[in-house]
Structure 1
Amino acid sequence: MLVCQSPAADVTKVESRRRILPVPPLICSHKAGWENICLEYYQLPAFEIPAHYQSDYTIVIHVSCQRLKRKLDECFCTEDIKVGDIAVIPPGVIHSYTTQQSELIILTLSEKLISQAKSQDFEEAEILPHFAKPDPLIYQIGVALKATLTSNTVGSYAYAESMGIALAAHLVQNYSLHKQQCNECCKGLPSSKLLKINQFICNHLSEDLLIGSMAREIGMSKYHFARLFKESTGMSPYQYLIKCRIERAKILLRDKTARISEVASTVGFSDQSQFTRHFKRLVGATPQQVRS
């Protein structure tokens, strides 16, 4: 395995980014004249990506299955990556990982693009770092932008601009926390522990997760953890777990071949009726109605 060791480096500029990677991108948008959004497509050997950060918003789109070890600031996670999983790294967040042979699309969005995407309701929202998770919309946008560059499609600038706006809005809507909520988090769990417990829950959705196991993951007592977690999120750990299960189920239901009972079991519900009851309560429709 190739290893590159260096202190955390600012890789905002293309030439800096390429110094920490073993090979150049096979496809990139730098000569296409795109503004506020950049795409690079890599096929990487097994490699250790050293600690780095940048002033833009980074989306790592995984196009191959693998196991990797990723660190976001002080949070570490071993991830079993599936095609379509994405990681979000906001500006200034130190990111490093050790990967097997892999295929990646890396999208970067400018601060200007994110600021323009913030409506009045999200004016003070802050996008948070996220370990790898499935996001079909971002995956499809990344694949479509890569195909546009590959085919040299006329009008790629306008297409990239519109996709960049859509991506920015999606990040603000789905990956951010209001500053008011952030202030509340300061009174609750530290952001690093909140990120760690969120990843723990997402990785164990199919299990019978108890408050005790969540608390042990971040070295706290059950009572202290439950109180601080609710201060941070506005929900009890159990309510948050149910919400995460339903969000994952919404993605799985897009596969028309998957039986609803199988989806219910995959995300940790004991039976289909329990799953349907919680799904309708949170979504406003049954799984069958969403699918049809």
Structure 2
Amino acid sequence: MAVSQSSNAQNSESPIFSSLNLDWETILLEEYRQPSGGTTLAAEADLVIVLSLSTQPHRIYQQIGDRHHIGLYHQGDLCITPSGIPSGYQAEGDDHYLYAQIPSRFLQQVVEEALELNLDRVEVVPTFQSRNPQLEQLLRLLQAELHQDGRMGRLYVESLTNALVVNLLRDYSTTQPHITQYDGGLGDRKLLQVTHYINEALDQDIKLADLAQLAGVSQSHFSRLFKRSMGLSPHQYLLQQRVERAKQLLKNTNQSLVEIALACGFDSHSHFTRQFRHITGLTPKAYRAH
């Protein structure tokens, strides 16, 4: 499942940040700064969420399908356009926003796995100028990862986008879906399989789908069950284990810091140093000399 490789069609301006080249399969994320203006759009194949980032309020005229809205948008305001609906906008003043496009196949997967419904039974409501702290926080975390060129890896991004879609469906669909909950966490056998897999693949870009398949549960449920079992999210556990492996290599080998960083799944020396210091309180160099 891949995100459409067509960028946001509404913009003549190029994005200042884009995930197009980051190989993110569950979301296309782009950040724009636009001068005054606007356009009319054909119906998008995928659901679109736009988060206002403008520090100064500005008026926007909008249309989604047959619905119209005029509002003074502030930082943190959301607009949601379901798939298959034409839309348009006209902004007065400079506009700064985050554009998130959710592939229909991924949306369908979350609906079937987390909500145990068919996608045609869940209708997302066109939404103007909404406030939703949970969705905003998730989008901000994804924005921060976009600015870092995806350094935290696929597992982190896929966990965030799963949570983003589940929260969106819960708050912005006509059918208020029941999100299936499971008591307890992963069983001991499954937990051992998953943690063994993680520790054997620390140098790889581990995918949430692979861990969920190994545990025999959906991606949407896996993160919650894993955290209930381990007290850490899958991504936090992965990072912890990468640092533990790095500690062993620092003490027991003469490998360079760059070699150790790559062997433990960090994409650069600087990323390795930052995460290692965050967890241990020491730089890798200082830990080796300690």
1:98 CA drift (Å): 0.1
Kept in 2: contact 1:113–1:168 (CA 8 A): no
1:140 equivalent in alignment to 2:133 = no
Matched, 1:114 2:107: yes
C-alpha spacing 1:153/1:55, structure 2 compared with 1 (3 Å): closer
Structure-2 separation of matches of 1:136 and 1:129: 18
Instruction: Specify whether residues 66 and 155 from structure 1 end up closer, same or farther in structure 2 by C-alpha distance, changes over 3 A only.
Output: same
Structure 2 distance, partners of 1:179, 1:137, is 17
Q: Does 1:35 align with 2:25?
A: yes
C-alpha offsets along residues 169-206 of structure 1, whole Å, 9 cap, x if unaligned? 011111111299xxxxxxxxxxxxxxxxxxxxxxxxxx
> Counterpart of 2:69 in structure 1: which amino acid?
C
1:42 Cα shift? 0.1
Alignment equivalent of 1:79, drawn from 60, 71, 76: 71
Runs of 4+ residues deviating >4 angstroms: 120-123
For the structure 1 residues 168 and 179, does the alpha-carbon distance in structure 2 shift closer, same or farther, using more than 3 Å as the test?
closer
For residues 58-137 of structure 1, the aligned pairs below 5 Å read: 58-64=48-54, 65-100=57-92, 101-118=94-111, 119-120=114-115, 122-123=117-118, 124-137=121-134
Please point out which of 49, 53, 56 is paired with 2:39. 49
Summarize the alignment of residues 1-292 of structure 1 with structure 2, pairs less than 5 Å apart: 13-15=5-7, 17-18=8-9, 20-64=10-54, 65-100=57-92, 101-118=94-111, 119-120=114-115, 122-123=117-118, 124-178=121-175
What is the TM-score with the length of structure 1 in the denominator? 0.53
1:117–1:155 Cα change, 3 Å: same
CA deviation after TM superposition for structure 1 residue 121, in Å: 5.9
Q: CA deviation at 1:155?
A: 3.1
Letter in 2 for 1:62: S
Kindly indicate whether the alpha-carbon contact (under 8 Å) linking 2:35 and 2:95 is maintained by their aligned counterparts in 1: yes
Secondary structure of 1:127's partner? coil
Matched-pair contact (CA < 8 Å) for 1:60–1:107? yes
Question: Which residue type is aligned with residue 35 of structure 1?
Answer: E
- Asked whether the equivalents of residues 53 and 96 of structure 2 are also in contact (C-alpha less than 8 Å), the reply is yes
Structure 1 residue runs of 5 or longer lacking an equivalent are 1-11, 181-292
The whole-number CA distance in structure 1 between the counterparts of 2:5 and 2:21 is 14
Distance 2:123 2:14 in 1: 32
Q: Quick check: which has more Rg, 1 or 2?
A: 2
- Name whichever of 43-52 and 148-157 sits farther off: 148-157
8 A contact 1:114–1:172 mirrored in 2: no
In 2: Cα distance, 1:58 partner to 1:150 partner? 20
- Per the TM alignment, residue 85 of structure 1 is displaced from its structure 2 partner at its CA by 0.6
The Cα shift of 1:24 comes to 0.3
Query: What's the RMSD between the two structures over aligned residues?
Result: 2.1
**Secondary structure at the counterpart of residue 11 of structure 2:** coil
Aligned with 2:123: secondary structure? strand
Could you tell me how far apart the structure 1 residues matched to 2:150 and 2:27 are?
17
Instruction: Flag the structure with higher strand content.
Output: 1
Rounded to whole Å, the distance in 1 between the matches of 2:5 and 2:85 is 16
Name the TM-score, length of structure 2 as normaliser: 0.54
Return the alpha-carbon distance in structure 1 between the equivalents of residues 39 and 133 of structure 2: 25
Displacement of 1:13 after TM fit? 5.0
Structure 2: tracts of 5 or more residues without a match? 178-290
Offset from partner CA, 1:217-240 (integer Å, 9 cap, x none): xxxxxxxxxxxxxxxxxxxxxxxx
CA contact (8 A) 1:37 1:107 kept: yes
Q: CA deviation at 1:21?
A: 1.4
Cα separation, partners in 2 of 1:122 and 1:81, compared to 1, 3 Å? farther
Q: Distance in 2 between matches of 1:121 and 1:113?
A: 14
Percent identical: 22
